[in-house]
Amino acid sequence: HVAGIAAGSGSRSEGRFKGVAFEASLVGVRVSSVSEAIQGLNWVMARRLELGVTVVNLSMGDVASVAFEACPWCSAVEKAVAAGLPVVASPVGTNAEHIVEGVTGLLAGGPAQWEAHLMRLIEDAALRDKMARAGRLHAAGYDVGLIAPRLISVIAQAIER
């Protein structure tokens, strides 16, 4: 349904009902589970330059039952953000925990928001670029090379007390 809202050609309605960005190109990845969604997202990221992907729409979410670092869905979404792909996702589960609303991506709670957010990103290359840069910076905060020295310092200070 989101693909039709975004880029439906109107061919089945003789042009009466077109998507808001009916001239946009889509890369569709059909999934039926979180593990397939992760595989699909990884597939898209590996081919993003070849396919010209500039926005990722995630019409699903997952509830983390483990720590963020061990959550496969969290990791997959964070990798997309780190790759500089602005993400449009539902505000459910862990999506809302690691997509910084309006900075690294957009959260959509219903069809009207999906349409508005996708159109905004499709039409505004400067916003896509800004979110891509912010996403890369945001993801750098999860880099083990940056976190480890700080964590070691905190542990050392705790031991000294």
Residue 49 contacts residue 85 (beta carbons within 8 Å): no
pLDDT on residue 127 = 94
CA-nearest of 90, 84, 80, 94 to 131 is 84
How many CA atoms within 13 Å lie on the side-chain side of 102? 0
Residues 70, 76, 77, 80: is their CA dihedral positive or negative?
Answer: positive
pLDDT tens digits, one per residue of 72-105: 777 787 888 888 888 888 887 777 777 889 998 8
Residue 95 contacts residue 77 (beta carbons within 8 Å): yes
* Paired tokens of 120: 């905004």
* Paired tokens of 28: 């569709």
Residue 81 contacts residue 91 (beta carbons within 8 Å): no
Q: Which residue has the higher pLDDT, 27 or 120?
A: 120
Strand duo 87-89 + 56-58: pairing: parallel
pLDDT tens digits, one per residue of 13-68: 887 877 766 666 777 777 777 788 888 888 888 888 898 888 777 766 544 444 44
The Cα–Cα gap between 156 and 161 comes to 9
Per DSSP, helices labelled H in 95-124 are 95-98, 111-123
The Cα–Cα gap between 86 and 104 comes to 6
Tracing tokens 């729409």 back to the chain, one arrives at: 57
pLDDT on residue 154 = 83
The three-class DSSP label of residue 1 is coil
